[in-house]
Structure 1
Amino acid sequence: MTTAQRPGGSPAVKAVIFDFYGTLVRLVPPMPPSHASVFERRGLGEYVERWGDQWSVGPADGEDNRAHSVDEATYRAWEVDRLRRRALECGVPAEEAGPLAVELDRATKSLTLELFPDVTAVLAQLRGRGLRVGLCSNWYWDLDRAVASCGLSDLVDAGVTSARVGVRKPHPAIYRAALDACGVAPEEALFVGDVWAADVVGPLAGGIRAVHLWRPDRAVDGVAPPLPDRAHRITSLHSLPELL
């Protein structure tokens, strides 16, 4: 484990706020249908190249969608309409764009998730110490259902998702919402996640200490950036309790 020097005199941590996907859970088979396969099945393969990678067509990091996050129905309608409008921009015929968007939205959310092996024991240990455990995720509206399906409901005190807050990490407002949900000040929280900008740079900018989770089997490629002050790096959640 490699860590940055912890600043002297830091207030005691009262809440640990985790990213969800890539930090606590991973995607396992059966994998969701690819967008390309949906286009091909509907006889629209000629538009696949213009469409691009399926993981890049969602809202951008830091995006503000608060106008659409007033309730679940409004947000879900906006998600599908985004895909419909993008399909039209790619040249998909208008009569095909709506049904295509509905199927693409369904395919994107057909996820089978599995907890990383270190999650349950570590979250239980944190709560046993009297710490609040929170989630802050760029996720769909139904983060609570995803948490329940993974068996985490009894180990998580509060959670916020970009769909409901209306902004995506690293927008400052989503971290403030997570702090409010956990009932702590920035200096009383520790943020843990695997994505550099969203889970380290963003929290640090909001006054929250951060832990960069750099798993050997991580979904994020590349080289781990140098650690700034008030940040640590671990390769397993099992190393987290000793930082506290």
Structure 2
Amino acid sequence: MGSKRPLEIKAVLFDLGNTLAGGSDTYEAFKASILAVASKLRELGFRVDAKRLAEVRLRNRAFFTELRKKTLKEVLGEIWMRRDLEDAGLKPDDSLVKEALRAHCEAIVNLRYVYDDVLEALEKLMELGYRMAVVSNVSVHWMAEETLRRLGLMHFFEFLVTSASVGWRKPHPAIFNEALRLLGLTSKEAVFVGDDLWADIYGAKSIGMRTVWIKRKEKVQEPIINPDAEVNSLKELMEAILSFSE
């Protein structure tokens, strides 16, 4: 490979969850969040049964997940956490919602880990002069930011764009266009790397970006759209990007 790179491609944008970092979409993460929130509430003097909180979370998560799919609008963490607390029998003020949400975020961030193929890939891209950023669907911007910081990845990226900060979730064009605006680049000058064929690949392709689908084992999907390249590991990413210039 040497140091050559496609002249047209100047930036590589990454999804976060299940692309760079794992550990958030699991039963363990759900359980950790419920226990952390229940513990925080007890610490603050509120009696809430963890089982009741889990039942409420499951019901509300199903509702808000469907709402997000239909509208592509983000439901901020403050909104769904307030609903959880209210449905669990509390009358939360803004301070209590904030404390509970912080406990949730800390629990999730503590479980996240970086995949073993990530650092080598990011270091290679940086060495070759590519600009990089992260575009993530997440209801709390701080949680994604803190994940990158604690995993030691923040310095690779110029910025982080989230659905919480933009208001729209991938695959909506707005979140991708915001990243391109911050880069000052056109869609033809950037590649998007993600694990979700709908949110990442379809979304990025819909505005003209080239795409690389990373096929993580924990999230197998039936093909619904053809990515420009497929990789089983980010160690194959540079080869995929270089193929775009052929």
What is the TM-score when the length of structure 2 is the normalising length?
0.73
Cα 1:166/1:50, change in 2 over 3 Å:
closer
Q: Which residue of 1 aligns with 2:199?
A: 198
Kindly provide the CA deviation profile for residues 3-36 of structure 1, in whole angstroms up to 9, marking residues without a partner as x. Answer: xxxxxxx972111100011111112898562437
Higher RCO by CA contacts (8 Å cutoff, separation 6 or greater): 1
- Distance, in Å, in 1 between the alignment partners of 2:63 and 2:23 is 18
Q: Which residue of 2 aligns with 1:157?
A: 158
Q: Which residue of 1 aligns with 2:209?
A: 208
More helix by share: 2
Kindly provide the CA deviation profile for residues 123-165 of structure 1, in whole angstroms up to 9, marking residues without a partner as x. Answer: 1111211211111011322233322211112211232111112
Percent identity, aligned pairs only?
28
Give the C-alpha shift of residue 48 in structure 1.
4.4
Q: Which residue of 1 aligns with 2:49?
A: 43
Alpha carbons 1:20, 1:136 under 8 Å: kept: yes
What is the TM-score when the length of structure 1 is the normalising length?
0.74
- Distance, in Å, in 1 between the alignment partners of 2:134 and 2:77 is 22
Alpha carbons 1:212, 1:232 under 8 Å: kept: yes
Q: Which residue of 2 aligns with 1:141?
A: 141
DSSP 3-state at the match of 1:23: coil
Q: Which is further off, 159-168 or 42-51?
A: 42-51
Alpha carbons 1:204, 1:210 under 8 Å: kept: yes
DSSP 3-state at the match of 1:191: strand
- Distance, in Å, in 2 between the alignment partners of 1:205 and 1:146 is 28
1:1-244 equivalences in 2 (<5 Å): 12-27=8-23, 31=29, 33-35=32-34, 42-43=48-49, 45-46=51-52, 48-52=54-58, 56=62, 60-61=68-69, 63-64=72-73, 79-88=77-86, 90=87, 92-95=88-91, 101=97, 104-109=100-105, 110=107, 111-112=109-110, 113-139=112-138, 140-142=140-142, 143-216=144-217, 218=218, 220=219, 222-225=220-223, 227-228=225-226, 231-243=228-240, 244=242
RMSD of equivalent CA atoms: 3.4
Unmatched segments (≥5 aa) in structure 1: 1-9, 69-77
Unmatched segments (≥5 aa) in structure 2: 1-5, 40-46
Give the C-alpha shift of residue 178 in structure 1.
1.0
Cα 1:107/1:63, change in 2 over 3 Å:
farther
DSSP 3-state at the match of 1:134: strand
Cα 1:37/1:149, change in 2 over 3 Å:
closer
Q: Which residue of 2 aligns with 1:3?
A: none
Equivalent residue letter for 1:19: D
Equivalent residue letter for 1:124: E
Alpha carbons 1:35, 1:54 under 8 Å: kept: no
DSSP 3-state at the match of 1:33: helix
Cα 1:240/1:55, change in 2 over 3 Å:
farther
Alpha carbons 1:133, 1:156 under 8 Å: kept: yes
- Distance, in Å, in 2 between the alignment partners of 1:34 and 1:53 is 15
- Distance, in Å, in 2 between the alignment partners of 1:103 and 1:195 is 31
Alpha carbons 1:11, 1:187 under 8 Å: kept: no
Kindly provide the CA deviation profile for residues 78-118 of structure 1, in whole angstroms up to 9, marking residues without a partner as x. Answer: 63343323554x4x435479898556523431222221111
Equivalent residue letter for 1:186: S
- Distance, in Å, in 2 between the alignment partners of 1:98 and 1:33 is 23
Number of residue pairs matched? 218
- Distance, in Å, in 2 between the alignment partners of 1:149 and 1:58 is 28
Give the C-alpha shift of residue 208 in structure 1.
0.8
